[in-house]
Structure 1
Amino acid sequence: MRYVKTISLAAILIGACSVVVTTGEDSIGSTQKASSMTMTSAALDMSSPLSSLAFGSCLKEKDDQSIWNTISAENPDAFVFLGDNVYGDLYPDDPRFNLPEMPAMKASYEKLADSRAFANFRAKTPLFVAWDDHDYGVNDGGAEYPFKDRAKELFLDAWDIPTDDARRKRAGVYTSEMIGPAGQTVQLILLDTRYFRGPLTETDEKNAPLKERYLQNFDPSSTMLGDDQWAWLDGELKKPADLRILVSSIQVIAEGHGWEAWRTLPLQRQKLYDLLKDNGASNTIIISGDRHSGAFYERSDVTGARLLEMTTSSLNAPVSVWRARSGETRIEPGPYRDGDPQMEVNYGMMDIDWTKRQAKLRLVSPGLETRTKIFDF
């Protein structure tokens, strides 16, 4: 039985962060069944109301996987991977970069599949999966990546996506699901921000505040989602749903930095805002990853309704590690952000109260104060 649903998204905040590396105690080893990289998960009853959803991003498969024990204790109905679910990407100057079979990516999936903690988690928790650049194949990669179809094949096989799934037949890995009965329907939309994405404009001053890697590109021909995915998204937003959860591997609302985000293609971001407004999608929450830190972002002036975004990252490679090593103390500006970013390990939880018609979002960082937001729908 298949248990996963999937798509794509991401970029790294400050480069490669690393934390404690696991030992063989977390390894399944010879007990691993089926393909050595196939990661099935528990089945979700799509007809029952969704009451709790966990989500997270930026998981280094070679590092500590104990976060799964913590999330499992929350007993979520399902878990959404927001992208960078493994780190199998290579830089173009790596001799392995031009190997069309992408053995490094395959090895990364195999490493994660061998984690006992993660195997125990997915045995009881259904998964929905989007991707980002590090499980796409190249840092900050887009449509130009020559092995994107092989990356897609590995992605779909690793997450045990059924052979008759629409993602097996069309370009990209975007998808959506309707969960729950009439009156208690959650629409989960997972975007692919990699496969079709057009060129970004590289910075003229690397690491300078507000333009660390990229400047805004106002070229109308540079797309984030591609024509087919845009048309599909328009159709999805027209479907009736009580609560919509829009998954973007990279941040949508965030300003104040020059790393990858929808702000790098401002015309495309405005198109997304307009699409939400035109379809009356006032019941939409955005969840994103990529940044190796977490925060809430909010605007009320772009879609005609309150638009709330929660970024959660990283599951085991927080930016706090890089900051400690480098001595960095600066906090990037956040004009639409609620407070300072959470820079330690974190994950997201969404608790849905169907009686109150409320979603309670929790940004959880083990051992630290949990941050919360209430969203009425």
Structure 2
Amino acid sequence: MKRAILLVGLMGLAACQVSRPISIPGITRAPDSAEEALEAYYKTLPDDFYPRAPEGLPLPDTDQPLSRILVASCLDEEKPVAPALEEIAREKADLLLMIGDNVYGDRDGRNYTVNQAELDELRESFSDLAARPDFQAVRAAHPMMVAWDDHDMGANDGGKDFPFRRLAERIHERFWGLEKQDVGAWPGTYYARTFGPEGQRTQIIMLDTRFFRTPLMVTNEWGVKGKERYIPSTDAHQDMLGADQWTWLENQLQKPADLRLIVSSVQVMATDGHGWEAWSRLPKEQERLYDLINQTGANGVVFVSGDRHTAFLYRQDAVLPYPAYELTASSLNGSFAETTEEMDSAQIGAGYPPENFGAIDIDWSTGTAALSIKANDGATVRETSVKFK
């Protein structure tokens, strides 16, 4: 009861609707924002406030070369089964990347809900995920690296303007056991790891495209093909990663690696095939990413993304010093169609909307990586090969 009263007071104070002073642990002055007003309160929440994933496997040793990486996104934790997730648990792999919308924490059934300050719906979604036998099997089968997207932050298409993002970050990091690692020491959920010896070194960069992202420009032709929800922003101050993450990424790209997977929850290369969320909706930031890779001389970059509820492969020859590729794997159990007519200028073949996951098979002897889209039974339905050496 005391916690509820304090929370009501905090929200009122942040909205300038409190007529008398209230005692806020850790705050001795009026906060500048609702986010600041809540921050000190969030620091008082007990450990059992946060749901936890079943214990997982440790990441591979830093000197172990990786030969197979699986990729998955978009898991509706309320649906009873996910054959693709069950198949992933049976597959052989060195590492699994869960790259966003790992839960739908802003939705109850088919209805979107507005998360309140304690993010009850989001925490319930993570608790439901932890209890799933298919997810437990995956945790027992594969080491995992994770990124978040809008639905596991708690706001559909949300960005830095989501007032409860700091609690959402805590929920994410504690669920996945990241709070005591480097990523737990800074705002945002981005981090990187490198595996393998010189000549067989894979760097995996998990970006956070939510915590710092500025608002998108809403379409002027709702539902029109190529302009479905958003159009390229003209805001001179558009930002995808935030100043600190951009600096961190520049440093990461200067580290030695033979193959670099840059994992973005939203698509990087798709530009003219759709009007949903993507780096192309913030075109200055998309160009900035390409420029940074060029300026740092980072070799072997392959982009990996999710979000779209359809799987895609892309290739573009003009943005990097070498052909740029992207694998979009989505979704595990949230298919909306059997076929799609979407075609981007960089797209390789047709998209694949049925339930799916992705695979990256690395052949160090030839310096190539096979990027594959897998049906929910493990069959390869789309594939392309990347020469990274």
Task: For structure 1, list consecutive stretches of 5 or more residues without a partner in the other structure.
Answer: 1-34, 321-327
Give the alignment of 1:1-377 within 5 angstroms: 37-46=52-61, 47-63=63-79, 64-89=81-106, 97=114, 99-163=116-180, 165-255=181-271, 256-320=273-337, 331-366=341-376, 369-377=380-388
**Kept after mapping to 2: 8 A contact 1:214/1:264:** yes
Instruction: Among all aligned residue pairs of Structure 1 and Structure 2, give the percentage whose two residues are the same amino acid.
Output: 39
| Residue 90 of structure 1: how far off its partner (Å) | 5.1
SS class of match (2:138): helix
> 1:269, 1:227 → 2: CA distance?
15
Structure 2: how far apart are the matches of 1:184 and 1:168?
A: 28
CA-to-partner distance for each residue in 1:252-303, whole Å, 9 max, x for gaps? 1112111000010000000001011112223111010000000101111011
Is the Cα–Cα contact under 8 Å of residues 37 and 106 in structure 1 kept in the other structure?
no
Q: Distance in 1 between matches of 2:315 and 2:252?
A: 23
What does the per-residue CA deviation read over 1:167-196, in whole Å, with 9 as the maximum and x for residues that have no partner?
Answer: 222110000001112221110001000000
The range that moved more, 80-89 or 280-289, is 280-289
Report the secondary structure of 1:309's partner residue. strand
Q: Which amino acid aligns with 1:376?
A: K
- Whether the aligned pair in 2 keeps the contact of 1:190 and 1:248 (CA below 8 Å) is yes
Bigger mean CA offset, 212-221 vs 144-153: 212-221
SS of corresponding position for 2:288: helix
Gaps of 5+ in 2: 1-49
Greater than 6 Å deviation, 4+ residue runs = none
Cα pair distance change 1:138/1:95, threshold 3 Å: closer
Q: Which moves more between the two structures, 198-207 or 366-375?
A: 366-375
What is the letter of the counterpart of residue 374 of structure 2? Answer: V
Contact 1:136–1:151 under 8 Å retained in 2: yes
Q: Which has the larger radius of gyration?
A: 2
What is the number of equivalent residue pairs in this alignment? 335
- Please give the alpha-carbon distance, in whole angstroms, between the structure 2 residues aligned to 1:329 and 1:309: 20
Judged with a 3 Å threshold, the aligned counterparts in structure 2 of structure 1 residues 363 and 98 are, in CA distance, closer, same or farther, namely: closer
Q: Does 1 or 2 have the higher relative contact order (CA < 8 Å, sep 6+)?
A: 1
Contact 1:48 1:179 in 2 (8 A): yes
- Mapped to 1, the partners of 2:214 and 2:54 lie a distance apart of 31
For 1:36 and 1:194, locate their aligned partners in 2 and report how far apart those are by CA, in whole Å: 21
The residue type equivalent to 1:56 in the other structure is A
Give deviations 1:305-333, integer Å, cap 9, x for gaps: 1100011100111121xxxxxxx986123
Distance (whole Å) between structure 2 residues aligned to residue 238 and residue 145 of structure 1: 32
- Asked whether the 8 Å contact 1:65–1:118 carries over to 2, the reply is no
> In structure 1, what residue type is equivalent to 2:384?
K
Deviation at 1:304, TM superposition (A): 1.8
Q: Residues 96 and 66 (structure 1 numbering): CA distance in 2 closer, same or farther, change over 3 Å? A: closer
Distance change (3 Å), C-alpha of 1:185 and 1:95: closer
TM-score (normalizing by structure 1): 0.85
C-alpha distance in 2 between matches for 1:38 and 1:330: 35
Q: Indicate if the aligned counterparts of 1:39 and 1:160 stay in contact, CA closer than 8 A.
A: no
Q: How far apart in 2 are the matches of 1:306 and 1:111?
A: 41
Contact 1:282 1:307 in 2 (8 A): no
